[in-house]
Amino acid sequence: MSQAVLFEKVAFIGLGLIGSSLARVIQAQHLAKSVVASTRSVKTLQDAKQLGLIDAGFHDAGEAIKGADLIVLALPVQATQSALEKIKPFLREDAIITDVGSTKGNVVDAAKAVFGENLPKGFIPGHPIAGSEHSGVHAGKVDLFANHKVILTPLQGSDKEAVQKLIQLWQAAQAEVICMDVDRHDEVLAHTSHLPHLMAFNLVEQLASRKDNLDIFRYAAGGFRDFSRIAASDPQMWHDIFFANKKAILNAVAGFEQQLQQFKQVIENEDSQKLMGMLGHARAARQHFNHMLANQPLMENHTVTQQFTILPGTQKFEGKFTVPGDKSVSHRSIMFGAIAEGTTHVTGFLEGEDALATLQAFRDMGVSIEGPKNGEVTIHGVGINGLKAPASALYMGNSGTSMRLLSGILSAQQFDSVMTGDASLSKRPMERIAKPLRLMGAKIQTTGEKGTPPVSITGSQQLQGIHYDLPMASAQVKSGILLAGLWANGETSVTEPEPTRDHTERMLRAFGYEVKTEGNKISLIGGEKLTGTDIQVPSDISSAAFFMVGAAITQGADITLEAVGINPTRTGVIEILKQMGANLTVENERIAGGEPIADIHIRGTQTLKGIHIPEDQVPLAIDEFPALFIAAACAEGETVLTGAAELRVKESDRIQVMADGLKLLGIQCTPTADGIIIQGKGKAGDWSPVFAGGQIESHHDHRIAMSFSMAGLRAAEPITIVGTETVATSFPTFTELATQAGLLLQVSNI
């Protein structure tokens, strides 16, 4: 993609791996009228000319920068001061001066030594988080920065336009630009880059100095190879970095030593439970943050990394499946197990990112949790007063359930806490839970714009029981209030306008806590204890819903979904599909862990018909509407949904996003303030395609992605769904099971 010329003349001081990679971008996209460089050796300049990277080379840095409107220092950080001294007398007043050094505090110090406290307005330090073990002008690559982050650390007096221009430059290199404070940069990098490099150098040095080093390296396992790869980096560069960021690195090393000491001690003491706890914690943290490491930028704005393509022509849609465990029950099993006395053993736990966020949060609050392994988790409860202050903000990922329920729990603790979330969660309303908690005496703030996360809580408040009339049906708000009520004086009660999911009430009872339900009013009395128990998490009806809809719209389909939770507050999708005429039977009903479960059998034998969805079913099917909209599009006649305003503030505005997608696939529909009207294209007895092909944006909403996947069963052309990486949040095995059933689904990384 070619861009407009951004600069008159760009001068590189230093043109090795990093400098020459940026020069390659500038040349390839004609971003500057001329590019020059100054390096230590003449050879580098000659090579750079031959490679077509520069128009002229200079031995003297001052000469090189004359007339330049962008100067890039791309040399070892230790050489910054002398380079700035050389160029100072020749600087254009409006010149932008940036650098690529791996440390920032010492670069700013070097600039102050040269310019005094009033640094040039165009001085904007930077650091591309990309590189390799190779160095020199030949090692550069035009795509070195693509899909990597670049941190800029503008200073107080830095010119905003200059910052914008640099952002444009790095974006042209396909990098994602993040602005950060200098000290924060050095601290973060000390932990995430400098410490791991030091550890790699240290390990290789330790093993290489042994007498039997030949054997050690000859028989080294993959772990050693992976871990030690970065010890092959340039010693000079790392020598400079270790000195340049001395303070922050020594801090990071001290933390490492302390942690290592802990590991040493538990191994010495053969403390098996503690060691498992520590290893499990680290493993879960690596999994929990994996999506961040893999694709999420430091400043939370989502990147799209994956898409589904559904090909038309599915011949069958059949089979018996066990979909993953219920998310709501999984979350609560960890929360209640953690604050219970004794051990709780959970089976069927959903190992999706959302439930793992809850698990991580409780580990961060000092709860020892083993697993999850094949859906099994063992929680060593710390009792109602046993949670400990987390070391830093609790990261809730994409999970609204975790944040709203934990708001209640954290409001009652003796310590302060902060909860943050990813881009999508950061847009979701939190005042609806904060308000009633404040009435109970909680000090809770929603510090994002518009009452959104981060949520900040000041501890040590004695909560008082209240009665609260929920203004809108929400199981999360109800649960948050009831959970705060566990620590409150007296009775806490909630009245809901319509019944919502009652997993909290059922599970509290399973943990031996008395909860009263009288009509729409639920109440409990604070100050009692929970007792650890065994929890079998039922299969999630929300996940089953995609396959139920898939089978209902596909001729000859025959799908059985086993051990699905059929809690009456969740079965709206079954009722609505039945009313639409689906051939659906609920078989083998039984009770597991306080929750009713059954096998759901559904066959594609007749065309669905459009209905006005009864409003009393809306809260009972709130998460299943994206899938039900696909069913409505395949039905004969009009389907009308009202009373579902809640759908507009889910992971996405599900009414608008679904309406946009349906229209794109040729379905007529009208979104309304609290619902949608869909003109079904089905005709009795006719199973021909109703959807056209097209490209759907999931808006990072897993349920949107999976719903439109099912539309592929009745599409004339391929449907591509962009942004499907979030599917793993609730249904890690979706693609595997859908493909087994017969859906022609391809996953590709983008």
* Residue ranges binding ligand NAP (CB under 6 A): 14-19, 39-41, 44, 74-77, 79, 100-102, 128, 131-132, 135-136, 237
For ligand NAP, the closer of residues 75 and 618 by Cβ is: 75
For ligand NAP, the closer of residues 15 and 442 by Cβ is: 15
Residues 6 or more apart in contact with residue 145 via CB below 8 angstroms: 21, 22, 25, 128, 130, 170, 173, 174, 175
In angstroms, give the least distance from the CB of 240 to ligand NAP.
Answer: 7
- The rounded distance, in Å, linking the Cα atoms of 591 and 467 is 31
- The rounded distance, in Å, linking the Cα atoms of 6 and 173 is 13
Q: Residues 694, 717: contact at Cβ < 8 Å?
A: yes
In angstroms, give the least distance from the CB of 106 to ligand NAP.
Answer: 10
- The rounded distance, in Å, linking the Cα atoms of 186 and 156 is 17
In angstroms, give the least distance from the CB of 15 to ligand NAP.
Answer: 4
In angstroms, give the least distance from the CB of 5 to ligand NAP.
Answer: 25
Helix (H, G, I), strand (E, B) or coil at 33: strand
* φ, ψ at 359 (rounded to 5°): -60, -45
In angstroms, give the least distance from the CB of 292 to ligand NAP.
Answer: 20
HSE toward the beta carbon, residue 2, CA cutoff 13 A = 7
In angstroms, give the least distance from the CB of 102 to ligand NAP.
Answer: 4
Six token digits for residue 334:
């960890």
89: exposed, middle or buried (Cβ count in 10 Å: 0-12, 13-18, 19+): exposed
- Determine if residue 623 is labeled as part of a ligand binding site: yes
- Determine if residue 506 is labeled as part of a ligand binding site: no
Q: What is the spatial order of strands in the sheet that 636-641 belongs to? A: 636-641, 675-681, 669-672
Q: Residues 284, 362: contact at Cβ < 8 Å?
A: no
- The rounded distance, in Å, linking the Cα atoms of 69 and 267 is 59
For ligand NAP, the closer of residues 132 and 583 by Cβ is: 132
In angstroms, give the least distance from the CB of 218 to ligand NAP.
Answer: 29
Look up 416 and say whether it is catalytic: no
Packing angle, helices 702-711 and 734-741, rounded to 10: 10
HSE toward the beta carbon, residue 545, CA cutoff 13 A = 33
- Determine if residue 476 is labeled as part of a ligand binding site: yes
- The rounded distance, in Å, linking the Cα atoms of 658 and 620 is 19
For ligand NAP, the closer of residues 74 and 97 by Cβ is: 74
- Determine if residue 186 is labeled as part of a ligand binding site: no
In angstroms, give the least distance from the CB of 155 to ligand NAP.
Answer: 18
Q: Which residue has the tokens 């619902």?
A: 675
If phi > 0 it is left, if psi is from -120 to 50 it is alpha, else beta; for residue 575 that is: alpha
Q: How far is CA 137 from CA 27, 44, 159, 433, 531, in A?
A: 14, 7, 31, 57, 65
Tell me 620's DSSP state.
G
In angstroms, give the least distance from the CB of 121 to ligand NAP.
Answer: 23
- Determine if residue 432 is labeled as part of a ligand binding site: no
- Determine if residue 650 is labeled as part of a ligand binding site: yes
For ligand NAP, the closer of residues 44 and 652 by Cβ is: 44
236: exposed, middle or buried (Cβ count in 10 Å: 0-12, 13-18, 19+): exposed
For ligand NAP, the closer of residues 139 and 393 by Cβ is: 139
Residue 578's beta-bridge partner residues?
none
Catalytic residue among 99, 186, 422, 623: 623
Residue 592's beta-bridge partner residues?
595
Indicate the pairing of strand 516-518 with strand 70-73: unpaired
Dihedral angle at the C-alpha atoms of 400, 402, 407, 408, nearest 10 degrees?
120
- Determine if residue 332 is labeled as part of a ligand binding site: yes
- Determine if residue 210 is labeled as part of a ligand binding site: no
Helix (H, G, I), strand (E, B) or coil at 625: helix
- Determine if residue 327 is labeled as part of a ligand binding site: yes
For ligand NAP, the closer of residues 14 and 712 by Cβ is: 14
For ligand NAP, the closer of residues 16 and 689 by Cβ is: 16
Six token digits for residue 142:
């035009």
DSSP H helices in 132-228: 160-172, 182-189, 195-208, 213-218, 222-228
- The rounded distance, in Å, linking the Cα atoms of 671 and 659 is 6
For ligand NAP, the closer of residues 27 and 413 by Cβ is: 27
In angstroms, give the least distance from the CB of 309 to ligand NAP.
Answer: 36
For ligand NAP, the closer of residues 150 and 475 by Cβ is: 150
Question: Which parts are annotated binding residues for phosphoenolpyruvate?
Answer: 327, 400, 428, 476, 654, 703
Point out the residues that are catalytic.
623
Question: Which parts are annotated binding residues for 3-phosphoshikimate?
Answer: 327-328, 332, 474, 476, 623, 650
Question: Which parts are annotated binding residues?
Answer: 327-328, 332, 400, 428, 474, 476, 623, 650, 654, 703
